[in-house]
Homo-oligomer: A and B are copies of this chain.
């Protein structure tokens, strides 16, 4: 018990250090560009050694992009599978609920968001990496949905539900960005989902399907 508490504490500290390196490097990139600060300056602000930096990230660019939450993604996938297939209409609810649970806390403040987007705006090659990473994540989630629902990854429903999920997450990101204070991610996403369902309702009364 004592040993696992120590491991937990250590893991939590590592996640925090990585997250601070990312947060400060985003602000510095937003303010000065990638070439406008050194790894040493970043480490000084965060209060870690240069050696510690390289335990987390191979380059400054990687620090700005941030650590890939690999372990979190695994848990996300397991929990999504465990819920089991219950028809297409619940897939988006499952995805959003799990996304709120897993990634909600990691999203940071509106100010951090603003710094990140300013950094992407200032450095097109970061933007390119970020987009590539998002396309990769979309593909992973499409594969996960396809697997659970028993279809192939080129199934249009699997693709549509994941594209809509990401567009909901992006639009909520935009709104957080536009707002001043901290906001409730879950209620923003629930509102956006309800709006998306309203505009995607069938325009004429649907016939009963056999």
Contacts and interface: CB of A to CB of B under 8 A. Distances in A.
Interface of A: 87-93, 121, 124-125, 127-128, 131, 155-157, 159-161, 163-164, 166-168, 170-171, 191-192, 194-203
B202 A197 contact: yes
Given A127-B131, A156-B191, A195-B157, A203 B93 contact: yes
The DSSP consensus for interface residues of chain A is: helix
A114 to B, nearest CB: 16
Contacts of A88: 198-199, 201
Given A127-B124, A131-B127, A159-B195, A164 B200 contact: yes
A161 B201 CA distance: 11
Contacts of A194: 156
